[in-house]
Amino acid sequence: MSKALRVGITLFRIDELTHGDMGKVLAMAEMADAKGVDMLSIPDHICFSSDAAKDYPMGPDAFPGTLDEPWYEPLTLLAAIGARTKQILLSTAVMIAPARTAVMLAKQLATLDCISNGRAVPVFGAGWQRAEFDSQNLPFEGRFTHMEEQIQVCRALWSGGPQSFQGKFVQFEDLWSYPLPVQGAALPIWLGLSPSPRNIERMARFADGWLPAMESLEKIKETRDKLSTSLEKHGRDPENFDIRSSLIPVPHKSGGIDFDATFAQAENMKAAGVTVIDTAPTLLTDRLDDLEMILDRLVALRE
């Protein structure tokens, strides 16, 4: 998996920099696009229950923010960004796909791809919070199988109509769903899953890339090797498979972030098989004025 390195940003907890000013969010995206950043991602949560922090898989201390913090619906915000940018790829980190209905999800992604002229690169995940599924009247149990069916439904509908599908969670006959994506049925779908044997097999069958969550570089390299074997078993070329991972902020001994040490992680990340290096600006600074410097350092990683 020796692909050319790409770089990206994730607009995580973005209100910490923009304070609810959506004009500033769009301006950040435009700056990233103009600087040559390859990918921009939006995280996803539909809602939180009062017990969300307690139920968080990585523990309550790792819960990302507060219950009343804004989480903008990713495909809506990406559509606005797509209309204001020219080349940056539009992604999610990650989107809780099975908390959405399959046919509508296919329609939304096709529309985003049309708005952006072929720049949609969604990352699907299965989610962890039952309340999000209950709120949408969708099943929490079986969500991984549901997600697999969603990918198959997207590929089918993006191939043109009429299409029929008979799965455990999704069934329909003779549906037409237009417009088709600019990228057609080849619109890439990545998966953000833990690297269990079952998920590695799932990614090899259905995904075009992997977004690990909090995995060490050693684990990423180990999983990359297992993915290569599984991809080849399914007749797929590992060279066409992406792995995206984020820089880990390194504290400076005098306070703040040590930017040199943080960005120096890139070489080891590339050696582990990472093809897209990502960062969330809010994890590196609380000043919007620092964004240009962060983007310049990020783009320089490709040199």
29: part of which helix (H) or strand (E)?
A: helix 22-35
Residue 59 lies in a domain: yes
- pLDDT by residue (tens digit) across 111-145? 999 999 999 999 999 999 999 999 999 999 999 99
Percent of the chain at pLDDT above 70?
A: 99
The number of folded domains in the chain is: 1
Residue 155 lies in a domain: no
Tokens of 209: 């890339």
Whether the pLDDT of residue 1 is over 70: the answer is no
- How much is the mean pLDDT over the chain? 97
Residue 173 lies in a domain: no
Query: Is there a cis peptide before residue 162, judged by omega within 30 degrees of 0?
Result: yes
Tokens of 270: 């590339």
Residue 131 lies in a domain: yes
Q: Are 281 and 294 in contact (CB under 8 A)?
A: yes
Contacts by 288-296 with C-beta closer than 8 Å and gap 24+? Answer: 288/17, 288/18, 288/24, 288/28, 291/17, 291/28, 291/31, 292/31, 292/35, 293/259, 294/259, 295/9, 295/31, 295/32, 295/35, 295/37, 296/35
Among 115, 111, 74, CA closest to 91: 74
Q: Where do we find the tokens 């700056």?
A: 31
Percent of the chain at pLDDT above 90?
A: 94
Higher pLDDT, 303 or 173: 173
Residue 214 lies in a domain: yes
Tokens of 271: 């050696």
CATH classification at residue 83: 3.20.20.30
Enter the pTM of the model. 0.96
Residue 152 lies in a domain: no
3-class DSSP state for residue 235? coil
- Give mean pLDDT, residues 101-105: 99
Residue 232 CB neighbour total at 10 angstroms: 12
Core vs surface per residue 2-38: b (16+ CB within 10 A) or e: ebebbbbbbbbbbbebbeeeeebbbebbeebbebebb
Whether the pLDDT of residue 231 is over 50: the answer is yes
Q: Are 170 and 117 in contact (CB under 8 A)?
A: no
Q: Can you give the residue range of the structural domain that contains 37?
A: 6-139+186-300
Tokens of 120: 């949609």
What's the confidence (pLDDT) of residue 146? 99
Whether the pLDDT of residue 232 is over 70: the answer is yes
Residue 282 CB neighbour total at 10 angstroms: 18
- pLDDT by residue (tens digit) across 157-174? 999 999 999 999 999 999
Residue 146 lies in a domain: no
- pLDDT by residue (tens digit) across 170-192? 999 999 999 999 999 999 999 99
Instruction: Compute the distance between CA of residue 37 and CA of residue 249 in angstroms, rounded to an integer.
Output: 19
What's the confidence (pLDDT) of residue 2? 60
Whether the pLDDT of residue 98 is over 80: the answer is yes
- Give mean pLDDT, residues 35-59: 95
Burial of 60 (0-12, 13-18, 19+ CB in 10 A): exposed
Residue 181 lies in a domain: no
